[in-house]
Amino acid sequence: MDIPIPNLNPSPKQIEFFTSKADETFYGGQAGGGKTSALVAEAITSCLEDPGHHTYIFRKTLKELEQSVVPEIYKQLDVFRDNVKYNSQKNIFTFPKTSFIQLAYLDNEADKYRYQSAEIHTLLFDELTHFTQDQYEYIKTRVRSDKPRRMRVMSASNPGNVGHGWVKAYFIDPAPPMTMFNDGEITKKFIPASIDDHPVRSFRDSYKKQLNALSDEMLKKALLYGEWDLFAGQVFTEWRRGIHVYDDTPVDFGACDRYIGLDWGYNDPTAIYWVARTPEAEDGRHYYVYRELYGNMKRPEEWAYEIAEIVKTEPVEFLAMPHDTYSNQGGSRPIVDQFREVFDRLNVRITIVRAPSGTHADKISRQALMHQMLATSYLNKPYLQVHNSCLNLIRTLPMLNYDTTRSEEIDKNADDHAYDGLTYCLYSIAKGGKGQVVTTKQPGQKREPMFVDENGRVINAGLDDIMVKAVKDTMQPRGRDWVYRR
Beta partners for residue 410, in sequence order: 402
Tell me the mean pLDDT in the region 421-433: 92
Question: Would you say 72 and 20 are in contact if contact means Cβ atoms under 8 Å apart?
Answer: no
What pLDDT digit, counting tens, does each position of 230-251 carry?
676 889 988 888 889 999 988 9
What pLDDT digit, counting tens, does each position of 63-119 carry?
999 999 999 999 998 877 788 999 999 999 999 889 999 999 998 888 999 999 999
Question: Would you say 26 and 174 are in contact if contact means Cβ atoms under 8 Å apart?
Answer: no
Task: Tell me the whole-structure pTM to 2 decimals.
Answer: 0.61
CATH 3.40.50.300 maps onto the chain at 12-223
Tell me the mean pLDDT in the region 447-454: 36
pLDDT value of position 453: 35
Among residues 300, 344, 296, the alpha carbon closest in space to that of 446 is found at 344
What pLDDT digit, counting tens, does each position of 352-364 carry?
999 988 789 999 9
Question: Would you say 188 and 22 are in contact if contact means Cβ atoms under 8 Å apart?
Answer: yes
Distance of CA 153 to the CA centre of its chain: 22
More confident call, 206 vs 151 = 151
pLDDT of 178 > 50? The answer is yes
pLDDT value of position 348: 95
Tell me the mean pLDDT in the region 149-178: 89
Quick count: other Cβ atoms within 10 Å of Cβ 326? 16
What pLDDT digit, counting tens, does each position of 15-61 carry?
899 999 999 999 987 666 688 999 999 999 999 999 999 999 999 99
How far apart are the C-alpha atoms of 62 and 67, rounded to whole Å? 9
More confident call, 299 vs 331 = 299
CATH 3.30.420.280 maps onto the chain at 241-484
**pLDDT band for position 298 (cuts 50, 70, 90):** very high
pLDDT of 270 > 90? The answer is yes
Helical H runs in 129-273? 133-140, 164-167, 201-212, 217-223, 241-244
Among residues 176, 200, 199, the alpha carbon closest in space to that of 188 is found at 176
pLDDT value of position 211: 66
pLDDT of 462 > 50? The answer is no
**pLDDT band for position 444 (cuts 50, 70, 90):** very low
CATH code for residues 241-484: 3.30.420.280
pLDDT value of position 428: 95
Tell me the mean pLDDT in the region 408-422: 93
Tell me the mean pLDDT in the region 424-448: 61
Among residues 472, 403, 462, the alpha carbon closest in space to that of 434 is found at 462
> Which of the listed CATH numbers 3.80.10.10, 3.40.50.300, 3.30.300.30, 3.40.1010.10 matches domain 12-223?
3.40.50.300
Contacts of 5 (CB under 8 A, 6+ apart): 41, 44, 45, 76
pLDDT of 473 > 90? The answer is no
Among residues 417, 413, 414, 416, the alpha carbon closest in space to that of 109 is found at 413
How far apart are the C-alpha atoms of 34 and 10, rounded to whole Å? 9
Share of the chain above pLDDT 90, in %: 57
